[in-house]
Chains A and B, each alone.
Chain A
Amino acid sequence: MSAKSTAEAPFVAKTKVGRVTDFVDSRVGGSPILREFGRKVFPDHWSFMFGEVALYSFIILLLSGTFLTFFFDPSMAETHYQGSYTPLYNVEMSVAYSSSLNISFDIRGGLFMRQVHHWAALLFVASLGVHMLRVFFTGAFRRPREMNWVVGGVLLILAMAAGFTGYSLPDDLLSGNGLRIIDGVIKSIPVIGTYTSFFLFGGEFPGTAIIGRLYVLHILLVPALILLMIVIHLFMVVIHKHTQYPGPGRNDGNVVGYPLGPVYAAKAGGFFFIVFGVIAIMAAAFTINPIWNYGPYDPSPVSAGTQPDWYIGFVDGALRLMPGVVNGFHFEYVIFGYTLTLNVLLPALVPAGIIFTVLFMYPWIERWITKDDREHHVLDRPRNAPTRTAIGVAGFTWYCVMWAAAGSDLIATHFHVSLNDVTYWLRALFFLGPVIAFVVTKRVALALQRKDREIALHGRETGRIVRLPHGEFIEVHAPLDEYKRYKLVGFESPSVLPAVPNEHGIVTRKEKRRAALSKWFFEDRVAPATPAELEAAHGHAHHEAIETAEQKSLSH
């Protein structure tokens, strides 16, 4: 090799960056990587930014979190506050709470870092959620990306775990009540609940161990797992290459977009600073979790209008919606001498269980119903998959009903309505909301598809009214160019897949169920417009009239 390279003229890099790159490359052999990635093409769309927001807020969480660990002390030992926040001076509290107050009031920039950390955490979970909604509604979870969808779901759960463990650390009154609720939920688990609670808290609630234990989970275990999952997630993104929205020139065999260097890297890299800047503005201007207002944890007081961080809200809301007693039936009952607390167990586990089970299994459910095992790299516009979109919105609505329930008391006080009525309505919406959302969404999606057809065939409404020689008024429609038209017609519209017999000539019960679901999925469909239809539409006398009118108006 060396003989050969000396025989040729040795490579000399032109720029300084090139020389440094060459130095590293000649020692570690990085050129194949650069060759692969230097100009790798990434499709661009605003909706692809949510995943980036999540990644960047995680980086900001690592940076601000590391700062906080230098000053935070997770001990639950009792102390008397000696810091500079006078209203709590000499109040008995835990060292954890006292050090959180010190970070806020005695460390310069500490309050800012705390607020950056908390806002970034809220944004992290939110952007993960929105990113997953984008992936769901555009069908990006389909083959070959099912496993990456699952990794994303795991990341969502880990993000919530990271949030909750961190939320509890300052040991203030609000987070202490949050832990109290968790303890109550854990105790409701049959057989092992009491032991689990004692093991978690190192004895009775609240004990003196829980903050230290949550701290280890929060700064070591959970972030390490998140980091691992992010690496796997991005690795798979590179293997699969990014999906792209449908449009002219884009198909399942190519990827259209900007090369990584320089445009895409600049945009994505610049976006990190923008996310950081936005979080900094929020941390500067909007107070988050003012722990000094809550006071140290004490099992006796509680403030009205207590709320968890937003991502835990749906579980808390489910807890609120569940009635403890219905028509004299107590959901807490005794079975073989043991207490089964269904009024806590059901709402805490069942809705979250259903949401995450369906979420994790959805790619396989849809693949089974549609028998679509092809690779998809072009996304669906949500309207072009009406049933999937309707399922997604139904699930989202269900989540939002529970989420709203977590603020039932605030809804009641803000709108001056009865708290009980708010709860009754939300209980009804818990069951009806998803159904209504499903029907409405499906109808809206189909209507939008019809509108697309209309525009593809007859053109865009110009708002220009023309009077024809015989007195008729018409609105002039401007025909689309072929690129815009292709965007509206270039999609697949699968139809119902009837049951087929297996190799023994038998239509199994499972296959019948699949066929029924396929009917439910694809029965209502709007097929994309075809060239023949366009021809027919143009041949239409009405349109000739428009076109002549158009020509006339042009000739004026």
Chain B
Amino acid sequence: MGNHSDGSPSHSGTVATAGQNEVEKFQDPGLPPHRLRLADTDPRAAKRAERQVAILFGASIVGTFIFLVAYFAIDLGDSSIATIRTQNLLLGLGTAFAMLGIGTGIVHWAKALMPDHEVSEERHAIRHEEDRQAAVRIVDDIVEETGIKRRPLIRNTLIGAIALAPLPAVAIFGDLGPRPDDKLAHTMWAPQDGKLKRLTRDPDGTPIKASDVTIGSAFHVIPEGLNELHEGKLNEKAKAVVLLMRLNPESLNPSPGREDWGYNGIVAYSKICTHVGCPVALYEQQTHHLLCPCHQSTFDLTQECKVIFGPASRPLPQLPIAVDAEGYLVATSDFKEPVGPSYWERDQHERQINS
């Protein structure tokens, strides 16, 4: 790219150095002459504008009354959505009229009737050299009078004290939350007192029989006993929710060590996305893909929920399941790795679980 200071290719010769010289610049012609408005010259137009402003203010008064009538006359007693919508519309339109009437009225008044002469005002220097010098002298004097330069011991201890003083202000927030410890590594699925937890339907908590799970179906699952929790129910649910699906056993390819984690093609995977924790709620039955609606991470059930698309990096954790004596599905253990989004200590926790 050369110097394209010319106006257009055909004029390149004449203007290659155009505009470089101050003398060659156009002189500022000054403010254009003021143009009178219709209302400035024609008293009838001015009168008309006056009436228009008054009408706008009148519209505002009408708006205020619309609001008051809508507020007091409409009874929310029956509380149907339609009544609320009507009231909301009328309150809003009333307010809009009240406000727009005043606003447009004032602006119209200003534009049509108030003097519209543009004025030029000088800008002043932001500071004056005299002030600056006086200020510098004052600061110098102040610093001199404190004697901080002559007494480094005072200065250094002060700096040290001030540097450390905010630490309590940080430390005092230490009780905002408990230490994480290994809370994120465990879920409710761990067998309690040797009793394996049943897989139950979300949200009613009824147990699921293996025979209920037909090929191609999917269940949203919570652990047995979740609904009976009084404290921290949502916390437990946020880790323990599971998706249960049944595929043709041939299409599952369990890796070594996971052969007995499913039952007759029934497999259970954590529903919490390994990306940032949204529920992976969409199951594409035909392709055996699980899709997270938040960021579109896609997991392939036939490859143990390996990530095949999207921002997640890690497969969904699988919940090892079996069938108890009554034919209900149970979790044979907790997840073998922490569920949900990754965190700094995650790998450490996974190693602890598996050791």
Contacts and interface: CB of A to CB of B under 8 A. Distances in A.
A352 B273 CA distance: 23
Contacts of B333: none
Interface in B14-45: 14-15, 18-20, 24-26, 28-32
Contacts of B203: 298, 300
B5 A184 contact: no
Given A300-B202, A332-B342, A527 B79 contact: no
A412 to B, nearest CB: 9
Interface stretch (A161-169, A280-288, A502-510): A280-288
Nearest to A520: B1
Interface in A525-556: 525-533, 536
Q: Contact residue range for chain B?
A: 35 or more
Contact of B118 (A200, A257, A377): A257
Given A281-B96, A319-B295, A343-B275, A258 B116 contact: yes
Contact of B234 (A206, A285, A531): A206
A283 B111 contact: no
Contacts of A374: none
Contact of B28 (A181, A197, A251, A529): A251
Interface stretch (B97-105, B147-155, B160-168): B97-105
A482 interface: yes
A258 B118 contact: yes
Interface residues of A, number: 136
A85 B79 contact: yes
Interface stretch (A16-24, A219-227, A449-457): A449-457
Interface string A242-258: 00000011011111111
A199 B183 contact: no
B95 interface: yes
Given A253-B122, A302-B293, A319-B311, A454 B8 contact: yes
Residue of A197, A209, A273, A299 contacting most chain B CB atoms (<10 Å): A299
Contacts of B18: 527-530, 532-533
Contact of B311 (A112, A200, A267, A344): A344
Nearest to B95: A280
A216 to B, nearest CB: 12
A322 interface: yes
Interface in B218-267: 220, 222, 232, 234-235, 237-239, 241
19 contacts: A39-B119, A106-B76, A112-B95, A181-B276, A188-B341, A199-B177, A204-B232, A249-B29, A280-B92, A284-B93, A324-B275, A324-B310, A324-B313, A330-B313, A344-B276, A490-B25, A528-B19, A529-B18, A532-B24
Given A249-B120, A324-B297, 6 more contacts: A111-B88, A263-B115, A266-B114, A304-B293, A408-B296, A454-B7
Interface of B: 1, 3-8, 14-15, 18-20, 24-26, 28-32, 71, 74, 76, 79, 84, 87-93, 95-107, 109-111, 114-116, 118-123, 126, 173, 176-180, 183-184, 202-203, 220, 222, 232, 234-235, 237-239, 241, 271-272, 275-279, 281-282, 293-297, 307, 309-314, 340-348, 351
